[in-house]
Structure 1
Amino acid sequence: MPNEPIGPRLRALRQASGRTVASVAADAGLSVPYIANLENGRGNPTTNALSRLAAALGTELSIEFGSGAPAPIGPAPQSVVKLGRSRRFRSTVAALAAKSGQDPQDVATRLISACGLLAEALGHEASEHDWWRVLDALVLIADHPA
């Protein structure tokens, strides 16, 4: 992750799991302002703090040296945040993860990030209904591959 801000990635992981900053802070043993600052691109976390955050978010910390770093993840639109907190979203993520043999948390994080990139490409935030149309299309593709 050369010079890639970690804040948007942390926020995307937290939002994809439907968690608040306070609940993650409690599980990680870190303060709410510390995590909020990290999500907003301020501060330089230690690997220990990142490891604790990863555990609190149900994922693993991975540090890589070399090329092939993933593209930066921007902040998720509010309609996507709302979508990510719904029971239907979690159910859809579980179904997609089962079909692809992937971790549901990873699938949720990627979907939230992808929706953010789609909103950026559209030039505006889509409605929650529009996000459901996108997710329904993904489920159709997963159920009936070409």
Structure 2
Amino acid sequence: MDHVELGRLLRSRRAALSRTVATVAADAGLSMPYVANLENGRGNPTISALDRLAAALGTQLTVTFSGPDTVRPDVIPPASLTRFAQTHYFRREVSRLEALGGNELRDIRTRLLDALAAVGHTLGRDLHERDWQRLLDAVILVLAHPAG
């Protein structure tokens, strides 16, 4: 992953969580200009800094060494999903899931965004807001009514 792609991934994750650069930087124990530079594709972050940023963004850093034939597991959420994650509908449904699961809101948000991004990536096309709603509804249906 190059610096520009890393920056897009950091910004997309932060925006999907409706967080500011300042709050993420504070939670990661990093300076705001440092995080802003990383989001803009500049800088050369340490593994430690990336690990702290990942934790501040409700996820974890995974480092993988791979050959040229290896499929990369990282999926950057598309802009349409980032916009959908900022809607009232998404926020309301995440709150409902939080009540069901008892987990932290950001943890549920992050896991949902990862899952939705993976489904969108698998489909191979950009989805519209209504498509994201349908996928979220399906996930909620499965979580609310586990197989018995």
Length-normalised TM-score, structure 2: 0.66
**Aligned counterparts of 1:64 and 1:129: Cα–Cα separation in 2:** 32
Q: Over the residues paired in the alignment, what is the CA RMSD in angstroms? A: 3.5
Matches within 5 A, 1:1-146: 7=7, 10-21=10-21, 24=24, 29-31=31-33, 34-39=34-39, 42-46=42-46, 47=48, 51=52, 53=53, 57=56, 59=58, 72-146=73-147
Gaps of 5+ in 2: 65-71
Contact 1:11 1:75 in 2 (8 A): no
Q: Deviations over 1:42-87 (max 9, x none)?
A: 5333436864x468x4758x67899xxxx84322111111111112
Gaps of 5+ in 1: none
Matched with 2:69 is: none
Contact 2:8 2:39 in 1 (8 A): yes
| Counterpart code for 2:15 | Q
Length-normalised TM-score, structure 1: 0.66
**RCO higher in 1 or 2 (8 Å CA, sep ≥ 6)?**
1
